[in-house]
Amino acid sequence: EADIYQTPRYLVIGTGKKITLECSQTMGHDKMYWYQQDPGMELHLIHYSYGVNSTEKGDLSSESTVSRIRTEHFPLTLESARPSHTSQYLCASSDPQGGATNEKLFFGSGTQLSVL
Amino acid sequence: SQQGEEDPQALSIQEGENATMNCSYKTSINNLQWYRQNSGRGLVHLILIRSNEREKHSGRLRVTLDTSKKSSSLLITASRAADTASYFCTSTSGTYKYIFGTGTRLKVLA
């Protein structure tokens, strides 16, 4: 059972609002990731972090920002939500304790965001 | 970063039948992994096969890896309605960015 949690599970919000999607993991993993996924489509990596105070942009350009002040916490923020931000956002973490050849991802349940 | 491309895009079978889906990738890898995603949920890790392995089993799952063809296959034997989900492959090689394709949508009919 993965110990990675995302809140809220669903969020419906109006255009222009500032939102923060929460992601926390209790496994002590250094690496964390945010993916964006539209229904039936591929996952797009939008942000990742290798540890505290480390954040990088992913392969898909995103207007969101992230922070990593604590190992267990990796929130994603949208300063001004728009309808084009409507999507599912998935948080994940990984840790190569067994070496890079054995590393795997643990995912949260996701946040379904709808911007009206 | 690596790209996992799954094939077919969608598969519909009867309960009890076997389901086979394929994955291709582009460059050398440390390992290749398969994940399952139930509708509207996060992904769940199913099985990992290292680059020096050719076949691996886990319950009703069988994964093969052909590094010369840069491809992998996932076989689910004796499928059940609960296996209905999307299946994704991904791989890593030195970097820690996991890139996913569009997945194979499997539907198992009761």
Which pLDDT score is estimated for A95?
Answer: 79
Tens digits of residue pLDDT in A12-40: 999 999 999 999 999 999 999 999 999 88
* Smallest Cα distance from B80 to chain A, Å: 21
Q: Chain B within 8 Å of A48 (Cβ-Cβ)?
A: yes
Which pLDDT score is estimated for B1?
Answer: 43
Tens digits of residue pLDDT in B21-58: 999 988 788 889 999 999 888 999 999 999 999 999 99
Taking CA–CA distances from A42, the nearest residue in chain B reads B102
Closest CA to A87 of A111, A68, A61, A107: A111
* Partner-chain contact B40 A110, CB within 8 Å: yes
**How many Cβ pairs within 8 Å bridge chains A and B?**
73
Tens digits of residue pLDDT in A46-63: 999 999 999 999 878 788
* Partner-chain contact B102 A35, CB within 8 Å: no
Closest CA to A32 of A79, A99, A90: A90
* Partner-chain contact B43 A102, CB within 8 Å: no
Taking CA–CA distances from A56, the nearest residue in chain B reads B97
Tens digits of residue pLDDT in B93-107: 666 678 888 899 999
Q: Are the beta carbons of A37 and A88 closer than 8 angstroms? A: yes
* Smallest Cα distance from B84 to chain A, Å: 14
For residue B11, what are the β-bridge partners?
B106
